[in-house]
Amino acid sequence: MIKASATDQETDSPENSFTEKDILDAKNLVNFLVLAWKNYSLYPEGHVAAIKAIENLKTAFEDFFLNHTSIRFIVEKNRLLYGFSVHHEVLAATRSEDLVYILFRDGVQWLEFHLGLPLDELVYFFSTLHKYKMLVEETEGDVVTGLTDGNLEYITFKAADIFWEDLPLIDFSSISTTPAATEEPPPHAESGHERGFEPYDRGEIQAKSIADPSISGALWEISPSEQKKLQEMVQEEENWDNAADVFDVLLVILHSQTDQYSFSSVLDFTLEEVVDTIQQGEFKLLLNLFQSLYQMLNRDASTELNWRRLLIERFFQDLSRPEIFNLITGKLILLNDGDTEEIKILRELLLYFPPAIILSLGSVIQQNRFPEVQKMIMQVLEYLCLKDMSPLEMLLDHPDQKMAERLLPLLVRQRGERSFTLFFKMSEHPSQKVRGEAVRILLARDPQSILKLFPLINDPSIKVRRDILAGIGRQKSSVLENLLLKHINENVDHENTDYILACYAALGRCGSNKAIPYLRRVLLAHGWNRFWGLGKPVHRQGAATTLVLLDNLQTENILLEASKSRFRLIREAASKAMTRSNESGEDTNG
C-alpha cells in the first residue's frame, strides 16, 4: 500500500499568486533539477560528474531560497507544474526514465522542497528514484516507500492511496474455454486427450508452468530474423549518444540563466562534459556546442549581460589548459591525410580556441608530417596569430631551429607593426634560412630598414650578405656611403675577392662624389706594390668599379689616367672594371 507523507494535512491546491519572477526562478530551478537527474542516471553511483550535478542543484536551491522558504511542484503524468505553469514536460522517447513519470507512476501527487535543504537529502532523493527507476519482479517497494523510509525533513510529498483490492475483480469463470456450440472445431484441432492433457470442467482453468516438460521448447526459440532484430536493438543501445543529449540540455539551461553564479556553475559542468567528449573523440559534437556558445557570446552586447560574455570567454580559455588541450594534441598527432572529414572538423573546432594553443600546436607541427594535417595546422595558426602573436614569438625562439624553419610560411604572411618587429628579431635567428627570409621580407616591405640591417653585411650566409649589399645599392645615402667605406677599410685583408668587389659595386650605387678622393687614392697610389693594403689588385679593381658606376666627368678623367698609368697593375684594374661593366648579365652584387 502506498502511504501519504506527513504533509497530507496541507492543502492540495496550488498557489495562484506567483509573480513573474517567482515563475522564472522556479523554471531555472527545474532546469537544474532535470539536468541533475539526467546526469545522475547517466553515470555510475559516486561518479564525479553525478556528484557535481547534485552539488550544482543544491547551489541552485540555495539561490532560490534567498527569496523563498519552499517550493512545491505538482506532479502529473507527463509534466511538472509550479502553480499553474508547466515547467517540464516528459518526452515520449525518454518517458520511462524521466523523474516526473517515475514519481507519477508510484503515486506522488506533489513534491515540496524546503529552506535548509542539505546535500545528503538530495543524494538520498536521487538514489531512491534511481533504485526504483525500473520496476522488475524482484524489486521490493517503490519510490514512495523509499522516500518515507528515509525520514526526510526538508523534502515532503503527498502520495495517492492505491488499494488494488478496491478495484472490481474480473470473473474469469465466465469466459468460455471451448468453441461455441454452433462453431465447428478447426479441422486440425486435436482433443485434449490426443495432445496429452487431462480433461477439465467448463469454467475451470488449469495453469501450466513454462517449465513443464510437456510444453514444447520450440515455443521459446528465437527465429533468425528475431535474433537479427535483437542484435540491432542491442547495438543501437550501445551506440546511444548521451553526450549530445547532455549538451542540448546544458545549452537550454544556459540560455535561460540570468544569474551570474548559476551560469558559471553550468559552464563548469559543461567543461567536464567537454573533457569526456574529447576523450571519446566526438569532435563533431564539440563543434556544435562551440558554435552555439559562440552565438550566445555575440547575441547580446548589452552592458548588463557583459558577465555572460566574460564567462564564456573564460570557458574557452580554460579549454587551452595543458591538461585539457593535450588530449586534443594527442588526437592531432595520430591524424593522417586519409582522415579527411576529421581534419575538416578539427580545423573548424580549433578556430574557437584562444591563441594560447599555438604553443601546443607547435609540437604537432614537429611530430605529424602528413601534408594535409600540416596545412590544416598552419591555417589555424595563421588565424590565431591575428589575435595574438606572442605565442608564435615563443615558438620561433625554440631551441630546435627546425621549428622556426617550419613556421616560415606563417611568418611571411604576418602583417602589421608587431610583425615588423618580429622580422627584425628573426633577422638575428641562429638559422640562416630564417635570417635570410626575415631580411628579404624587411627589405621588400621597407627599403629604409637597410640602415638597421647593415650589421648583417658580415653574416656567414652568402645569401644574407648579397641581400644586404643589394639593399644598400638600391638607394643613394651618405650614411650608407660612410658605413660602407668604413667597412671596406676594416676588411682590407678579406679573403673573398667576390665579396670585396660586391662591396665596391654597392658603394658605386649608393655613394656620391664625396668618395671620389678616396677611390682615386686606392686606384692610383703605390702602383708598384701589389701586396700593400688597399693597393692589392682586388681593391684597385673595386675602386675602378665604383668610379665606373658613379659615371661623371670627374670619374672618367680618373679612369683615363689609370688606363695610361706606367704601372701595369693600375692599367689592368681599370681595364677589368670597364670590361665588367660592359658585359651584360654580370652580377656585381656577388
The per-residue pLDDT for 93 is 60
Tell me the per-residue pLDDT of 56-65, one tens digit each, with 9 for 90 and over: 899 889 989 9
Cα gap 82→75, rounded to integer Å: 9
Domain ranges of the chain: 20-166, 415-472, 474-590
Give rounded-to-5 percent helix, strand, coil for the chain: 60, 5, 35
Cα gap 81→26, rounded to integer Å: 10
Region 488-505: mean pLDDT is 86
The per-residue pLDDT for 222 is 62
Q: Are 524 and 562 in contact (CB under 8 A)?
A: yes
pLDDT, the chain, mean: 79
Sheet holding 79-82, edge to edge: 85-89, 79-82, 70-75, 108-114, 155-159
Angle between helix 283-299 and 306-319 (nearest 10)? 150
The per-residue pLDDT for 232 is 63
- pTM, whole model, 2 decimals? 0.53
Among 148, 12, 142, 150, which residue's Cα sits nearest to residue 81? 12
- What percentage of the chain reaches a pLDDT higher than 70? 78
Q: Are strands 70-75 and 85-89 parallel, antiparallel or unpaired?
A: unpaired
pLDDT > 50? residue 171: no
pLDDT > 70? residue 318: yes
Tell me the per-residue pLDDT of 198-248, one tens digit each, with 9 for 90 and over: 444 444 445 455 455 555 555 445 667 766 666 666 555 445 456 677 888
Task: Find all residues with CB under 8 Å of 24, minimum gap 6, and list them.
Answer: 258
Farthest CA pair distance, the chain: 152
Among 326, 334, 313, 247, which residue's Cα sits nearest to residue 285? 247
Cα gap 527→147, rounded to integer Å: 116
Among 297, 295, 293, 286, which residue's Cα sits nearest to residue 327? 286
pLDDT-wise least confident of 170-174, 271-275, 581-585: 170-174
Give me the amino acid identity at 512: S
The per-residue pLDDT for 479 is 93
pLDDT > 90? residue 96: no
The per-residue pLDDT for 452 is 93
Tell me the per-residue pLDDT of 444-470, one tens digit each, with 9 for 90 and over: 989 999 999 999 998 999 999 999 999
Cα gap 271→142, rounded to integer Å: 35
197 CB neighbour count, 10 Å cutoff: 13
The per-residue pLDDT for 195 is 41
Region 247-259: mean pLDDT is 81
Q: Are 87 and 26 in contact (CB under 8 A)?
A: yes
- What percentage of the chain reaches a pLDDT higher than 90? 27
Angle between helix 48-64 and 260-280 (nearest 10)? 170
Buried b (16+ CB within 10 A) or exposed e, 255-287: eebeeeebbbbbbebbbebbeebbeeeebebbb
Q: Are 130 and 166 in contact (CB under 8 A)?
A: no
Region 394-398: mean pLDDT is 84
Region 178-200: mean pLDDT is 44
* Residue 545 in grid coordinates: 668599379
The per-residue pLDDT for 161 is 57
